[in-house]
Amino acid sequence: MRTDLFDFELPSGNIALRPASPRESARLLVVRPGEVLEDCTVGDLPDWLRPGDQLVVNDTKVIAASLTGRRISRDTEPKIEATLIKRIDGSRWQAFVKPAKKLAPGDVVRFGHDGRVCLLGHLDATVEAKGEAGEVTFAFGFHGPALDQAIAELGSPPLPPYIASKRDADEQDAADYQTMFAVNEGAVAAPTAGLHFTPALEAKLTARGVGLHRVTLHVGAGTFLPVKVDDTLDHKMHSEWGSISRETADALNAAHAAGGRIVAVGTTSMRLLESATGEDGVIRPFADDTAIFITPGYRFRAVDILLTNFHLPRSTLFMLVSAFAGLDTMKAAYAHAISTGYRFYSYGDASLLFRNESYR
């Protein structure tokens, strides 16, 4: 499909720079294809679900993936900014770097504040390979837990560019940019729909008879990038690692068979569930990379309802929600959200989307 079909104008004033407080006080736009839009709050979520419905949340934890250092392997030492995007193994990461033209295979970058050492010693990384659009493969001098600790010491939360361009990250972001479910480290961007949850909201959902299940998808920065090609067929998705346990798969299948609906909390949970579900609609245990790219025409196998934030124009995520509820439906919903002051993107408000039944 043409990428420009997924374009829209968003005033900068609609971009959220801080989350709502308390989190469940964020606005919620309920979108049911063919029905009137409903303006609510996230705290009203239990009222829109039925006993037996099953929420699926992503329990990934964001690491301090933004690093600053200097190239030290040649005569000059230009400043290098890197955002880790995917772990390859115990000592290697893929990363986006700026300025990429300053690096070549074999160069060494020393990370730290202005290239100084941390308490653990130097955090050096050798450029193992260069890819397209500023992507490199780093081989770090540390391995395993020692590398994780060094990154945590020297890195900072990788706020999305539409926030980072307006203000610096601070200590508040270290808490704000994690969900209450975050336990498995590995994401470089938050599964933002989960940011709206609090223990009080979880308790209300439990009292309503709604189940809650955890899966893991380590979100990469590439997920949120605008699509720059003219046709969606030419876009290449970055892969991300995810897992669904057998226990979770069995529980979701049983609930579905009994008439319960599967509610994906966020596009990350949805993409993982759809990756793990066969043509027969059965969710299977999963532990692998996925690069699933969902656009209009995709036939959904697992998810019935999607809770998600408002997304970038021309992004793979706006394409996904358009596939789920219908492009015309989502354009109308976004026009309503913009005109009535909904807050967009990672720290913004949410929408509750019901699947277009013609897309079964």
Which residue matches tokens 């893991």? 216
252 to 180, 185, 214, 264, 275: CA distances (angstroms): 21, 24, 11, 11, 15
**Taking a C-beta distance cutoff of 8 angstroms, is the pair 163, 198 a contact?**
no
Task: Average the pLDDT over 38-56 and give the result.
Answer: 98
Percent share of the chain, pLDDT over 70: 96
Length of the chain: 360
- CA-CA distance, 276 to 292, in Å (whole number)? 11
Minimum mean pLDDT range among 4-18, 167-181, 256-270, 271-285: 167-181
Say which amino acid occupies 355: R
pLDDT at residue 18, rounded to an integer: 94
Task: Average the pLDDT over 28-48 and give the result.
Answer: 97
Say which amino acid occupies 92: R
Task: Average the pLDDT over 46-58 and give the result.
Answer: 98
pLDDT at residue 120, rounded to an integer: 47
Instruction: Indicate yes or no: pTM above 0.85.
Output: yes
Q: What is the three-class DSSP state of 344? A: strand
Mean pLDDT of the chain: 92
Judge if the upstream peptide bond of residue 99 is cis by omega within 30 degrees of 0: yes
Task: Average the pLDDT over 48-72 and give the result.
Answer: 95
Percent share of the chain, pLDDT over 90: 73
pLDDT value at 118 more than 60: no
DSSP 35-83: S--EEEEGGGGGGGS-TT-EEEEE-EEE---EEEEEE-SSSS--EEEEE
pLDDT at residue 238, rounded to an integer: 81
Which is it for the CA torsion 197, 198, 202, 207, positive or negative? negative
Q: Are strands 79-87 and 66-71 parallel, antiparallel or unpaired?
A: antiparallel
Residues 6+ apart with CB under 8 A from 6: 227, 313, 314, 315, 318, 319, 322, 327
pLDDT at residue 261, rounded to an integer: 98
Categorize the per-residue pLDDT at 121 as very low, low, confident or very high, splitting at 50, 70 and 90: low
- CA-CA distance, 89 to 84, in Å (whole number)? 13
Judge if the upstream peptide bond of residue 22 is cis by omega within 30 degrees of 0: yes
pLDDT at residue 133, rounded to an integer: 76
- CA-CA distance, 339 to 82, in Å (whole number)? 36
Task: Average the pLDDT over 115-119 and give the result.
Answer: 46
DSSP 80-118: EEEEEEEE-SSSEEEEEEETGGG--TT-EEEESGGG--B
pLDDT at residue 98, rounded to an integer: 92
- CA-CA distance, 31 to 35, in Å (whole number)? 8
Count CA atoms within 13 Å of residue 6 on its CB side: 26
Higher-pLDDT residue of 349, 76:
349
Least Cα distance to 92 among 46, 55, 126, 42 occurs for 126
Categorize the per-residue pLDDT at 224 as very low, low, confident or very high, splitting at 50, 70 and 90: low
pLDDT at residue 223, rounded to an integer: 67
Q: Are strands 135-140 and 211-217 parallel, antiparallel or unpaired?
A: unpaired
pLDDT value at 171 more than 90: no
Categorize the per-residue pLDDT at 168 as very low, low, confident or very high, splitting at 50, 70 and 90: confident
pLDDT value at 303 more than 50: yes
Helix 316-325 crosses helix 267-276 at what angle (to 10 degrees)? Answer: 70
DSSP state of 133: T
Least Cα distance to 350 among 38, 98, 34 occurs for 38
Minimum mean pLDDT range among 40-44, 120-124, 268-272: 120-124
Least Cα distance to 156 among 217, 211, 81, 80 occurs for 81
pLDDT at residue 115, rounded to an integer: 44
Residues 6+ apart with CB under 8 A from 233: none
Task: Average the pLDDT over 259-267 and give the result.
Answer: 97
